[in-house]
Amino acid sequence: MLLAPSADLVPNTLAYENQPLVKATGFREYDARWLFGPDINLLGVEALGMGLGTLIQQMGQTKIVVGHDFRSYSLSIKQALSLGLIQAGCEVLDIGLALSPIAYFAQFDLDAPCVAMVTASHNENGWTGVKMGAQRPLTFGPDEMGRLKDIVLGGGWELRPGGSLTHVAGVAERYVADVAAGVSLKRPLKVVCACGNGTAGAFAAEALRKMGVAVVYEMDCDLDWTFPRYNPNPEDQEMLHEMAAAVRQYGADCALGFDGDGDRCGVVDDEGEEIFADKIGLMLARDLSVLHKDATFVVDVKSTGLYATDEVLAANGAKTVYWKTGHSYIKRKTAELKALAGFEKSGHFFFNDPIGRGYDDGLVAAAAILAMLDRNPDKKLSDLKKALPVAYTSLTMSPHCPDEEKYGVVDKIVAEYEALRAEGGTILGRKIADLITVNGVRVALEDGSWVLVRASSNKPEIVVVVESTSSADDMRALFHNEVKPRLGKHPQVGGYNQEI
């Protein structure tokens, strides 16, 4: 039997080859992420599999779908994870190379309650991780992740006989057919399909064609795990700028970009302007609330404040609930409230019946966007965007902050804003109207503008978003004159990944 994992093994040593390495920081709020090599080794992944198998057995389950994304090391990690699951007595159904939503689809397709998708999502090369669930369509939240962490780090796994591994063919093909069946376009659309050489390149263009897209311009759809042009992350400026350039080059109706594991969708309109996912969500909510009266929508705290004041949603009886950022949180809240859809600013879209099965799926989101265009044949995507009330929302900006420090820093920022409000203080001349502290702190100002500071759930970073109701200059001022200097007073906070 393996020893309990250690946190201080060093690669290229005898101990590293014979003992599991698992650093505690890899257990995040709703999934697991490590740097493969310095933070976890293959024996550590095997230990993770034994711990996960033990946990799902304790939850009364044994059958589990496993898949892996397209990185040079993901297959070996999946095999190590599967070995651990088998030792814990689980029936492992290996669907091969997959997107996260293909693995989620497989839970329904193969009647398997559990899933373990090996993916680093949009993280840079070197990272690996696992997205897990035991109650379709939900994935683990903090409670399950806490239990898993305790089992794995304490060596508390329970090994059982009867484990098995079956390689299952055809799931990806059935997924593509299923996701394409949700829409049959009549409008002749030209769409750029951007995949950043990530896993989605194997599936997305085919799915768009099956949906009825007249012309699909493939952009970086060849699989290449070195990601030679940029990281497949449609929330980053580099990928968005390339998508915009392609729209202008081809005269396309839009560009749809998919992240490394295909559960997120980024959008650029016909004018080559990116539309952040919260604004796309508002456009979709407007469109869908006409078809589904009195619908409920869930959005994360990074999202625009326009949902709360939108006249179209109000006229259609729609209700919006702001909730914690994180795909697991929004997924769970969308299921709990039986909401029609949930939207997260990072590009996760969740659609319940009759549109989807409740899990985040970039291609289901793409289908919903294309169906919206099909229902509005006299309008371009840019027209639908311009019909929204004006709000100036920033990029998601993330200064580095160690995992061990980030939550403490955010707690101090929350306390600072609570004290500022209690004192009657102002931010750039405006009083604080409300503080939402369900996930970090969202500081709502009296004119409807707001700033958000929260800890990243899956990287050693703090997350910052600002929105102004008055101007782009004011949006930049909220960041440069308020949030950035406030965070800058804390020495644990480092450089930003991008800034407005």
Of 140, 191, 186, nearest in space to 33 by CA: 140
191 contacts 217 by C-beta, under 8 angstroms:
yes
Token pair in block for residue 89: 């007595």
CB 427 within 8 A of CB 466: no
Copy the structure tokens of residue 70.
């397209």
**Closest by alpha carbon to 47, among 2, 94, 90, 89?**
2
Give how far the C-alpha of residue 270 lies from the chain's centroid of Cα atoms, to the nearest Å.
Answer: 25
CA 225 to chain centre: 20
Active site residue 449: no
Catalytic residue among 82, 121, 346, 456: 121
**Lookup: tokens for 479:** 């960041």
Under 8 Å CB-to-CB from 127, ≥6 apart: which residues? 33, 34, 35, 36, 120
Give the catalytic positions in this structure.
121
